[in-house]
Structure formats: structure tokens, C-alpha cells
Amino acid sequence: MPLLSVQISQLFGKYNSAPVKSIDKLPQAGSDRHYFRIHTDEKNYIAAYGPNIKENETFIYFSQQFQKKELSTANVLYINEDKSIYIQEDFGSVCLLDKLEERGFCDEVYTLYKKSLAQLAELQVKGHELVNYEKCLTNSEFGKQAIMADLLYFKYYFFDALAKPYDKQKLIDDFEALSNYLSHTEHKYFMFRDFQSRNIMVSEDDSVHFIDYQGGMNGAPQYDVASLLWQARANLTVEWKEGLLEDYMNSFEKLVGGNLNREVFRSQYHGYVLIRLLQVLGAYGFRGLFERKAQFLTSIPLALNNIKWFLEHHSVGISVPTFMQVLDMCVSNEIIEHFTPIQATEETPLLVTINSFSYKKGIPVDDSENGGGFIFDMRGILNPGRFDEYKKLSGLDKPVKNFLEQRTKMAVFLNSAFDMVDISVSNYIERGFGALMVNFGCTGGQHRSVYAAEALARHLKNKFKVKIILTHVNRDNWVK
């Protein structure tokens, strides 16, 4: 069992006598935190490991404070001595985005969004009464400095990467003006900071619960509403955005008492919509363009189209001409097309054949007319097959996947492989080619190559919608 799983099991056993049946590593998102699901006979728990102790301390503090008023946040149960690992209640594996993607824009999902916003308002107002903002992870307040940081994040990690000419000083001046305008907001409460549908878990009884609020601070409530309603991946309809904003304002008004100036609230809301959209675009740029994580690159055109629609229908409230020129460049057809991958249709002839194989048995032969393709040697990745507990498993099994994700440079290797294969797939779709073969080889064709072949197949299906044939050539000879 990997070291982290052992430490988690020991921490759990120190406080809870329930026997641990298994510990599964959950898929890692954009941060350096690692999450695990602990299975016992009666219930499951979530364990989190984070190397950033200050971040862990902030999450634990917020959670403990919010539990005093039973808000819709996690109950942290056990914490290890150095606060690098903590165990919290498990809200399940279904998030609000999953519900939307599964059921579409139906009344049931709208109700879940409405419920989430009502409980957000409660967290913002009641949480504000509970929190000491000196314990925040970064800024204690989402004021001018924090707004400037978001704008510069967009500038450095997305716009500057486009290498387009612009007046740097005038852009900074516009950033200053917009930051001043938005920092003088009428309302300031607890701000979640990353309130999006992946951080809202939906239980079997349709109750909603919030996770990943360690970035919270004092700030404008409109920012969190903008984060949820304008999430690029969710792509909510205009009717839903407008209706849910009204629902939120109704809930917020009841909690703060008195009449809410909705015209002013909406005006500042639109400013925060733009700030949030740009902060997310900066994050996609950082993760995709600089860290070269392929899944974030595919989100860039969604974010750009979101910004384009917003600019066509709303104003930020003040004159910022250079900033508007920069945004117009970002949402030009040229830039959006640059980041939008070509996708296969039913008429596209390309068929990508992906194989895992054993070098002991030989490299698969390409019988297509032109041959060629890629052969990736996985033997530079630490082999799980060297360890007794993995010998009879394969790259299809969770323990092996966890090993490769936690203890090897598999992710770095695959990002480079994806970059190369993507060039050919895109070009072959455009040129009407019919075949491409990609082979991943390792010693036995059972662990590393299998994992890599499965990962590439998922990537190409998601990004290019291309037809795939996936074969594990040495499957009949796997150690069993």
C-alpha cells in the first residue's frame, strides 16, 4: 500500500475503530492536494493530503467555524499532528455539474442550482459572523489588491502568451480604475472564492454540500454568484442565469434584512462576472499553456466564448478603453479558432488504433496503407510489476493507477505524448487521412503501457471525437 494510504489508515484507526476495507485515490484536479476515499462497512470518509499546511489550516478553521451554525460545509473529523492530512465526512462522488450533464436543463437541476444559491447566501451572511479573516489563506479581503491580482493573472498567463501588441501602461491604468470601482461595493460578507458546480456535491436525498472553500475571504457576494452562473463548462442558458440571479437576490435580501438595491447589485455583479471569467481564463492559461496539462487547453475556447457573449450584452460600468481593446483581441475569431480543436464527424475517415504491447513479444505491425505512427517506450517509468502486490494486476486496476499517478512521472510523460499525437490527429482529420497507429510498449505489456493506452484513448475521444480501436496486445499473457 502506498505510503500516503498507510498514513491515512493509521490516522483513521487512531480515532475510529471501524475496520478499513479499502482506500481509493480520487482523481486529482488542478491543485497539488490529493484526496482519498476510505471505505468501511457502515460509511465512507474522505481523506485529504496537502503539502501546503497553511492551506490545510485555513480549510480546517473555516470548517470548524461553519459547523457552529450547521452550514452546508464539511465536518472535519480527524487531523494528523502536522496537519498535512485530515479526514472529513464524505458527501459522495456526484457534483452539481454531473447532475447538469446527466439530466440537462430540467426543473430538477434548476431546483438544485436554486438550493445551492440559497445555501450560499446563508454561508456568506452567517459565515461572515463566524470567521476571523486574519486566518485567510492569502488576502483577508477581496479588495483592490486581490482584484488587481486576478486581472494580472489573466494578463500574465493568458494574454501575454498570445504575444499581441498593446500599451502596457494604459492597460495597468485601466486595471487600477476597474479595481477601484469594484472594491467599493455596497455589501461585503464571506466570499467562497471558487463557488462553481464541481465544488457543490449532491447527496442521494438531493441535499447540497460545499467543498474546497479554503480560498475564502471577505468580499462581494456577487463574485460567488458570478462564479457559479458563468462557469464555462456548465454553459447555463440566459434564462437560467437571469432567473437564478433573481432567486439568489431573494434569498440574500431575506438574510440581510431590508430592501436590496437590485440595480446597483446587478451593476456590480456584471463587473464581477468579468473579473471571474478572466481569472478562470488565466487559470486555464497557466495550467494549459505553462504546465501543459491538456485537459485545461480544451476549456479555453469555452471561456473565450463566455467572455465574448458577455461583452456583447453587458457593460462593466466604467470606461476602460485599453482593457476593452485587449478583450476584443482575446475573443477575436482568430484566437478562438486557434484554441478550438478540430473535431471529427461521422463522415471523418480517420481511425486511430491504440495498442499496449510487450517489447518481449515485439512491436505491433501497422497493416494500413501508409503505416507509420508513434511508438512510445514506457520503460523509463517505474514499473509497478516489480512489486508483489501489483504483479497480478494491470493498468486497468485502481491500485496500479494510483501507483502510477502518485509514485511516477507518468503524467509528465503523457502530457508530452499527447502534445505530439494531437498534432498528427488534428492534421490527419483536416487532410482526410484514414489511419493512425499509436503504440505504448513496456516490459510485459501489462501495467505502464496499458495505463498509457487507456489514457490516450480517453484524451482523443474527449478532444477530437475521433474513432478509436484500443487493444491490449499482450492481454492473454498477463501474469495472473
The whole-number pLDDT of residue 33 equals 86
**CA-based nearest residue to 10, from 41, 62, 47, 43:** 47
Q: Within 13 Å and on the Cβ side, how many CA atoms surround 354?
A: 23
Highest-scoring range by mean pLDDT, 86-90, 400-404, 413-417, 462-466: 86-90
DSSP string computed for 153-200: HHIIIIIGGGT----HHHHHHHHHHHHHHHHS-S--EEE-S---GGGE
Per-residue pLDDT reduced to its tens digit, 339-362: 988 999 999 999 999 999 999 999
The whole-number pLDDT of residue 288 equals 86
Q: What's the pTM value of the predicted model, to 2 decimals? A: 0.74
The whole-number pLDDT of residue 1 equals 46
Per-residue pLDDT reduced to its tens digit, 196-235: 999 999 999 999 999 999 999 999 999 999 999 999 889 8
What pLDDT band is residue 29 in, cutting at 50, 70 and 90? low
What pLDDT band is residue 15 in, cutting at 50, 70 and 90? very high
Strands 85-89 vs 44-49: parallel, antiparallel or unpaired: antiparallel
Highest-scoring range by mean pLDDT, 8-17, 110-119, 262-271, 293-302: 110-119
- Decide if 146 contacts 275 (C-beta within 8 A): no
The whole-number pLDDT of residue 87 equals 97
Strands 217-219 vs 200-202: parallel, antiparallel or unpaired: unpaired
Per-residue pLDDT reduced to its tens digit, 238-258: 999 999 999 999 999 999 987
Cα 66 from Cα 75, distance rounded (Å): 9
What pLDDT band is residue 327 in, cutting at 50, 70 and 90? very high
- Decide: helix, strand or coil at residue 220: coil
Percent of the chain at pLDDT > 70 equals: 99
Cell digits of residue 365: 505491425
- The answer, yes or no, to whether residue 300 has pLDDT greater than 60, is yes
Provide, for the chain, the percentages of residues in helix, strand and coil under a 3-state DSSP scheme, each rounded to the nearest 5: 55, 15, 35
